[in-house]
Homo-oligomer: A and B are copies of this chain.
Amino acid sequence: MTVSRVLRNRGDVSPATREKVLEAAKTLGYVPNKIAGALASQQVNLVAVIIPSVANMVFPEVLGGISRALEETELQPVVGVTDYSPDKEEKVLYEMLSWRPSGVIIAGLEHSDASRAMLAAAGIPVVEIMDTDGAPIDAAVGISHRRAGREMGKAILEAGYRKIGFMGTKLGLDHRARKRFEGFTEALAKGGVEIQDQEFYSDGSALAKGREMTEAMMIRSPDLDFLYYSNDMIGAGGLLWLTEKGYDVPDRLGCAGFNDVQLLQGLPRKLATMDSCRQEIGRRAAEIILGRLNGDDTPTGKVELTPRINPGDTLRLS
């Protein structure tokens, strides 16, 4: 009845009755039931956001971009976490889709067949984020990690480094880290250079792991002149160790990470890195959803952002 209209500021309601209803609602402590509302109106102003982890520092920033873009909107983000597991992704997705959200923002381009099917069948805008190396189901916004790896490789060669070591997460399910690695080795190969040593880790405090792995690697392969880390956290740990040991960085030895996490500002030396455009990815993804929902003819397909190399203090300039 009229009550519904008042609470949603819809249609014409006389200020008098409006007042009355509002007051009654307040004194009764009335909270509308969105479940019933959603069922009746067949629309749920929620955007499902599916990411691998909240601990990773990268994703909270993407989330920030999304929230900000959705702030002045009816839409609200709801996040689900997959822990980098395709199985869990499938479950989370199923769970979220069963609430009939207005759109989905999901990290990565690789999903199980079932997940892809659900997304395709959902009949709502789907934006895959972070990565553009592959074919999106609907829309995608991100960076090309393969290209990012390649460019870092190129920059390193141009700076004159030749004996290169790599450290990173186990490359199994982190597709983006894998693609960076592939692009990196590819660029090196083009310059006739091969990675001389490499090491992978799976869990633990990234800073400490970076430190340990770096120590192990420098003992094993003392003549390395560059260390490429798959993320800034292990890179920072490594750099701390190198600094303590008195390595001449970046001349005797250079190093670089990936992500440009601002968390690390304040460390003694600034690690060379590459911005992964996290905020903007979030914002753009949200905007695409909004556009689609407004019926704008937002172009489907990929939006590829371009990360820049930030040489910091640890990459000799060529």
Please give the residue numbers on chain A whose beta carbons come within 8 Å of chain B beta carbons, in ascending order: 29, 31-36, 38-39, 44, 54-55, 60-61, 63-64, 67, 76, 78-79, 81, 94-95, 97-100, 117-118, 121-122, 205-211, 237, 240, 244, 262-268
Contact = CB atoms under 8 A, between A and B. Distances in A.
Contact of A266 (B35, B39, B63, B210): B210
Contact of A240 (B64, B79, B268): B268
B67 A63 contact: no
Contacts of A44: 35
Contacts of A211: 266
A31 B94 contact: yes
A244 B240 CA distance: 12
Contacts of A34: 98-100
Contact of A79 (B79, B100, B121): B79
A244 B265 contact: no
A209 B55 contact: no
A38 B39 CA distance: 10
B98 A207 contact: no
Given A33-B100, A35-B38, A267 B54 contact: no
A100 B266 contact: no
A154 to B, nearest CB: 29
A214 to B, nearest CB: 10
Contacts of A39: 33, 35-36, 39
State the oligomeric state as a number of copies.
Answer: 2
B207 A117 contact: no
Given A35-B99, A54-B54, A79-B79, A266 B29 contact: no
Nearest to A264: B207
Given A264-B207, A266-B208, A267-B207, A76 B95 contact: yes
B262 A205 contact: yes
A277 B250 CA distance: 40
Nearest to A60: B54
A302 to B, nearest CB: 25
A259 to B, nearest CB: 14
A261 to B, nearest CB: 9
A52 to B, nearest CB: 13
A31, A33, A205 — which one has the most chain B CB atoms within 10 A of its CB? Answer: A31
A98 B33 contact: yes
Contacts of A60: 54-55, 60
A25 to B, nearest CB: 12
5 contacts: A31-B122, A33-B39, A54-B60, A55-B61, A205-B264
